[in-house]
Structure 1
């Protein structure tokens, strides 16, 4: 089967995106969600077609970055590589800004970990989201945080929503009615060998 070489600029875009996704898997994605998707992949994609299926996914992803592949006739479609590079750069800058924002928030929370927590959200704080200073580096998974929160008297697991786990800290969406009790019970408590900082998360933006 004949192969078609891509221009070096397109190769660089695809490689950069693959590396970005690998970093995202390692540091940002929810392992439980990844396991669910992996099981679907293994169940519905025959083992001898998985490499081509993965290649097809890469092709579709590359197209969103502005890469244009040859048509069946062999005539290459026109590509706007400058637009693709600008889009990729803008996306990278956005991710970089988000990482800085989260790191700044974590630093601010850590500096005040020994202070008495506020059980009333202040200006710029989200009454629906709890910040907790533990994450992937302590091998924490969503089920662990659900168990920790559910151990607090009066907390119904059904009132616990989305959970986002990062390297050193996590964000948990909860019903506002249980947020003050969680903060009071868990702030400065010991969990897996460290003191926890638990408070309202800051709103995005």
Structure 2
């Protein structure tokens, strides 16, 4: 009988956070959307959380099973056998680290989101194509269902507002401005001083 895998909840929590980050920056959101629709169609609403938990657990079990034989092979040791796991490790993408947002950066609110089939890469392309802003000038992009936030320098935020305000994308007129949350945070700082 197979021994039950003990779960390290701290490691599991970090893995979940890494997966969430990967979802936010995924290069093929249309594929994820298709899979999401299949899950919605075939998994009852009340079981979707368990479905996700089950998939994560099985993924971790498979990774654990692969690692254990590889360690034994290394100890017994033919160099040819060692090369296969190394090739798999190189093929796996590294999780992206969140870039620190410099002081003085501003966050834009944009009225476009996932429900309008707008994703992070679409927003980056939109901002870069008309404004002269480069991909590296954008510190962070967060896309929600109906709206998005983009963090950049104040100068680049002003350029984006000037070029994009009122433009029509996928049938929606863009509303873009400095995030209200940002304005509230600034007023709190003034009150504290």
Q: Same fold (TM over 0.5)?
A: no
Bigger relative CO (Cα 8 Å, ≥ 6 apart): 1
User: TM-score normalised to the size of structure 1?
Assistant: 0.42
User: TM-score normalised to the size of structure 2?
Assistant: 0.44
